[in-house]
Each structure stands twice: as structure tokens, then as C-alpha cells.
Amino acid sequence: MPEIEIKEVTINARPSRARRSQYRQYERLITNIKKVYPYALMVRKKLTLVNEELKNIPDKERKGYLKEVEKDVFGEYEDDIRGMTISQGRILIKLIDRETQNTSYTLIRDYRGKFSAAFWQGIARFFGTNLKEEYDPYGEDALIEAIIKEIDAGRL
């Protein structure tokens, strides 16, 4: 018997046209995720490289290495990140947690220190977000997860 492999198809109902505001929110969410998802993937990749390098660097040189990496990353991505909206920043924080399995607060605390993490958490709280927020793919972030799966499958 011949065997044919068929690609998996996911069918997600879009909000009804009668609720245009929900539909616009959904479309805006897709746009925002498409903008910030590449940065979350970049963070995962960069973090993996930094952790690999830190294994080979003596403790005395770690701080200097981390400052150099931070300077390079800021130089390369600062303008893009500053141009993001607050809602895109919130999505990025969640996607960083999704990709690295660590909250943004934990990453800052581990690589920059407790004082710096507390400072940036204060700034985030001022703008109505939380660096300690975790990604929940089966709860409140289920829609984000579905959109990311569609992006990864090449359908969005």
C-alpha cells in the first residue's frame, strides 16, 4: 500500500466580523508578535553563545566579557528596541521567557546583578508591565502560542 504523509493543518476560528474591535486586536497582536518574535529568538541564540563562552572564561574576566557583550548588543539593537511600543515590549518579555525558560528579571539579575534587576523592574512597573511575568502557553498566552505556531509553520 502506498503511504503519503500529509502536513498537519491547524484550524483556528478568527473572531467574527460582527466584533470588529476583537478582530482588529487579533490582527494587531499578529503584527506585534511578528515584529518582536525575531528578537526573542535572537536573545535565545545570544544567551546560548554567552553561556558557552562563560564556561571557558575565568571568574576574574567574566564581568569584563559581559560588559563587552552588553555593549555590542546595545549598539546593534538599541534603536530597534527603543522604537517598540509598550505592548510590543510586554509581548517581548513573555516571548523571552518562552524561549529561554527564564523571566527577564532572572536574566538581568543573573548577568547584571540584583540592584540592576530591581531598577529595571521598577521602570517596567512604571510602564505597567512586569519583568517577572511568566509565559503561560495554556492559559492567558494561548493565543500568542497559537500565532507563534502558525508563524513557525510558515502560514503567517
How do residues 10-57 score in pLDDT, each as one tens digit?
A: 776 765 666 778 888 889 999 999 999 999 999 899 888 888 888 888
Residue 16: its pLDDT value, please?
63
Residue 17: its pLDDT value, please?
64
Q: 129-149 b/e with 16+ CB inside 10 Å = b?
A: bebebebeeeeebeebbebbe
CA distances from 127 to 32, 40, 122 (A): 18, 20, 9
Residue 153: its pLDDT value, please?
85
Q: What mean pLDDT do residues 127-141 have?
A: 88
The proportion of the chain whose per-residue pLDDT surpasses 70, expressed as a percent, equals 96
Query: Using CB atoms within 10 A of its CB, is residue 37 exposed (0-12), middle (13-18) or buried (19+)?
Result: buried
Residue 125 pLDDT > 70: yes
Residue 73: its pLDDT value, please?
83
